[in-house]
Amino acid sequence: MSRIVLASHNPGKVAELRRILGGFDIVGLDEFPGAPDVAETELTFEGNALLKARAIAAFTGLPAVADDSGLCVDALNGMPGVLSARWSGRFGAAAGDRDTANLQLLLDQVADVADEARGAAFVCAAVLVVPGGAEHGAEGRMRGALIREPRGTGGFGYDPVFVPDGETRTTAEMAPEEKDAISHRGEAFRALAGIIAAADLT
Ligand code: IMP
């Protein structure tokens, strides 16, 4: 079975990719002590995902998958975008505190935006880099709207204020598998799975 490394320490992401890429041996970065922690310095999701996948493919010698994602808000001209994780500037804070600060700042910024103009999209770029070989990419997108008060305890990040189109619940009120089925990350990983199945991984 071909081994593929996912450039992430997040066990949730590793499990999700394992569910989608059934025929492959998916391992996370926890299995590679000393793997580089790559700064996300590019201005696009795909650019950041490529930075991570290239570094991890070079470090491990294995085909590497990486993703980068964020929330693009219409009324903010597509921001926070690639800055989603760091929107409130709280770089050192624990993930939960940072998520809460990011979400509150975003809600304040769009407080005066009318209900019909509160559209947004979660976007995810997923890439595969084969060491010394090919690079492939796929994108996923989930459109929806921002509500005014957080609802739900599932998910992470901006989930409590995002209601996907055609839904009444926030993504924080959905079961993980329900969110996977419609999410930007699910869509990008599923598209990449088709590419990986057809790719030369050697
Ligand atoms: P990444 O880890 O660099 O891809 O940054 C992703 C950031 O975008 C997270 O910290 C969240 O703020 C936001 N984000 C991406 N995907 C989601 C999602 O599915 N739900 C909520 N927030 C998300």
Residue with tokens 């590019």: 42
- Kindly tell me if the per-residue pLDDT of 90 is higher than 80: no
Q: Of 51-55, 103-107, 153-157, which range is least confident? A: 153-157
Look up tokens 């999209």; give the residue: 121
Would you say the CB of residue 8 lies under 6 angstroms from ligand 1?
no
Distance CA 120, CA 157 (A): 14
Could you check whether the bond before residue 80 is cis, i.e. omega within 30 degrees of 0?
Answer: yes
CB 157 near ligand 1, within 6 Å: yes
Q: Work out the average pLDDT over 152-162.
A: 95
Looking up tokens 């310095």 gives: 41
Tell me: pLDDT of 101 over 90.
yes
What tokens does 166 get?
A: 């055609």
Would you say residue 188 has pLDDT above 80? yes
Q: Is residue 5 within 8 Å of 17, Cβ to Cβ?
A: no
Question: How confident is the model at residue 84, as a pLDDT?
Answer: 96
With 80 as the cut, is the pLDDT of residue 187 above it?
A: yes
Instruction: Report the distance separating Cα 110 and Cα 84, nearest Å.
Output: 15
Evaluate if residue 91 carries a pLDDT over 80.
Answer: no
Rounded distance, CA 144 to CA 68, Å?
19
The domain total for the chain is 1
122 C-alpha to ligand 1 centroid (Å): 8
Which atom of ligand 1 is closest in space to residue 48's alpha carbon? 3
Q: Are 26 and 60 in contact (CB under 8 A)?
A: no
Closest by CA position to 72, among listed 147, 123, 146, 139: 123
pTM for the model stands at 0.94
Out of 37, 67, 68, 112, the active site residue is 68
Q: Is the pLDDT of residue 21 over 90?
A: no
CATH number for the domain harbouring residue 17: 3.90.950.10
Overall average pLDDT of the 186-200 stretch = 92
Query: If you search the block for the tokens 């009318």, which residue do you land on?
Result: 114
pLDDT at 86 over 80: yes
pLDDT digits (tens, 9 = 90+) for 132-150: 889 999 999 999 999 999 9
Residue 174 has pLDDT above 80, yes or no: yes
pLDDT at residue 92 is higher than 80: no
Q: What order do you get walking across the sheet with 25-27 strand by strand?
A: 25-27, 3-6, 64-73, 119-129, 135-146, 162-164
| pLDDT confidence band for 22 (50 / 70 / 90) | confident
Domain that holds residue 33: 3-198
> How far apart are the C-alpha atoms of 88 and 109, rounded to whole Å?
11
